[in-house]
Amino acid sequence: MNKMLILMNILLTLPKRVNRQNQEYRFGFGGISERMIHPFVFYVLATLIVGFALLVVTVRNIFHSGLCLIGTFLGVAGIYVSLHNYFLAATQLLIYSGAIAVLILFGIMMTQRSWSLTSRTHNSLWLIGIPVSAMMAFLMIRSALTLPDSPIKTVWENLLQAIGSVLMQVYVLPFEIISVVLLVALIGAMALGKESEEA
Amino acid sequence: MIGVVHYVILSALLFVIGLYGAMTRKNGISVLMSVELMFNAANINFVALSYRFRDVAFLAGQAFPLFVIAIAAAEVTVGLAIVLSLYRSSNTVNLDEANQLRG
């Protein structure tokens, strides 16, 4: 009975406790310094990203398109560095341009045939695709221009520590669900990729 | 001065390019690559727009791309397994030829 009361007390006070700890982030982890990216670096990175992305969707040889995808991922990692999130940049390098790109390149190599270099790589949807994409870009850029432009200059000194605390306190349920999703994806990929006996 | 709006415009361009690729490419693996471009655009938006907030909202924007990256890894694994089994069963990776489920 006493234990149950203690348990209920813990459960009932948990949200309050989390809230109190959240307010400590403002002062709890290191100081805040100011640093800004040079415009030239940003424009070089943006040109790299958009150029490689255009190559990804237009190049006829799908293997070259997979290599251009790695270029886009590297550029996005640079963008994360310019946004002062170095851990995310390292994760992008390891998982995207490391694991996912290698996975996609292996998939391309296992499914490529000699005729796949000469056959058409795009369907006839480009007639709809170009106007729809252009209109989408117009709408998104126009709504982005209505945002108040706040500068990116505050750097959290211990951002990784703060992110870890947030993951483990506020977002601990999604964090655990992600691990289950990864396990299910692993088993599903093995079940799908296995050679079936009757085939 | 490079502000949040620059990053949002960059991510809009990246998203639109990915959308175009996902609509027009015939090869299933190309469609997966275009979807990856769109994931990256969303991640740039998360991190850039989080600079307009403070405290937990800021940290949520900084941490959420990690979830997106994990989901993207799972998605690519399952997607490639589906494309490989399609290749094995009907000897093609073109999505417009994959119509066995059409009634």
Q: What is the pLDDT along chain A (199 residues), one digit of tens a residue?
A: 666 666 655 554 444 444 444 444 443 444 455 667 788 899 999 999 999 999 999 998 889 999 999 999 999 999 999 988 899 999 999 999 999 999 999 999 988 876 566 677 787 788 898 999 999 999 999 999 998 888 777 677 788 888 998 899 889 999 999 999 999 999 999 898 787 665 4
pLDDT of residue A84: 87
For all residues of chain B together, what is the average pLDDT? 90
Residues 6 or more apart whose CB falls under 8 angstroms from that of A64 comprise A55
Taking an 8 Å cut-off on Cβ atoms, the answer to whether A100 and B52 are in contact is no
Taking an 8 Å cut-off on Cβ atoms, the answer to whether A125 and B23 are in contact is: yes
Q: Where are the domains of chain B?
A: 4-92
pLDDT score, position A21: 45
Q: What is the pLDDT of residue B18?
A: 95
Q: Is the distance from CB of B32 to CB of B93 less than 8 angstroms?
A: no
CA distance B90 to chain A (A): 11
Pull the structure tokens for residue A178.
């992600």
Residue-wise pLDDT tens digits, B30-57? 999 999 999 999 999 999 999 888 778 8
Q: Which helix (H) or strand (E) holds A155?
A: strand A154-156
pLDDT at A19: 45
Select from A79, A116, A154 the residue whose CB has the most chain B CBs within 10 Å, as the one to mutate to test that interface.
A79
Q: Do B77 and A145 touch (CB under 8 A)?
A: no
Cβ–Cβ pairs < 8 A, chains A and B: 238
Side-chain-facing half-sphere of A158: CA atoms under 13 Å: 12
Q: What is the pLDDT of residue A111?
A: 86
Contact B87 A111 (CB under 8 A): yes
A chain contacts of residue B98, beta-carbon cutoff 8 Å? none
Q: Evaluate if residue B5 carries a pLDDT over 80.
A: yes
So what CATH class is B4-92?
mainly alpha
Spatial contact of B8 and B42, defined as CB atoms under 8 Å apart = no
Query: What is chain B's alpha carbon radius of gyration, rounded to the nearest angstrom?
Result: 17
